[in-house]
Amino acid sequence: MGMFDRVKQQAKDALSGVGTLPGGTPAGVNPGMMAGLPTDMEEKLRYRDLAQKLKASGVEAPAVINAIRRGTTDPISGSVSTELDISIKPADGAPYEATVKQAMLPAWLDTLSPGEAVSVKYDPDNPTSALIYGSV
């Protein structure tokens, strides 16, 4: 058996045990590693669509953070799923309350606190749909 044949056989042997465990976890992957990953694809798609819409047609406005709730940390990206209660102050109307659900890197999240002014973009068709874009 030549060297190439041995490599092919080793690859076949390695792949022979690959499959999935109950629940769709790939074999060889510790199911605990999968625990922090978001599982609601529908929610992730809504977040993506909102981010794209706000980038294209969002209205920028100042806001104030009222409360911050940290969620789980994504083990791959390190981002923290976060909910922030904010008061948005649009240029052409009265301030209003909204809750922003946004993934944030800890380095930025750790700089935010209740009472702090931030910059948001909100959806003109649904003003309570917003994302934080920066500090003021």
Closest-CA residue to 122 (of 1, 113, 96, 114): 96
pTM of the model: 0.68
Domain ranges of the chain: 3-34, 41-135
What's the token pair of residue 36? 């922090």
What does the pLDDT look like over 52-81, one tens digit per residue? Answer: 999 999 999 999 999 999 999 988 889 999
The confidence band for 50, taking pLDDT boundaries of 50, 70 and 90, is: very high
Three-state SS annotation for 92-128: CCCCEEEEEEEEECHHHHCCCCCCCEEEEEEECCEEE
What is the torsion angle, in degrees rounded to the nearest 10, for the CA atoms of residue 53, residue 59, residue 61 and residue 65?
Answer: -30
The confidence band for 109, taking pLDDT boundaries of 50, 70 and 90, is: very high
CATH class of the structural domain 41-135: mainly beta
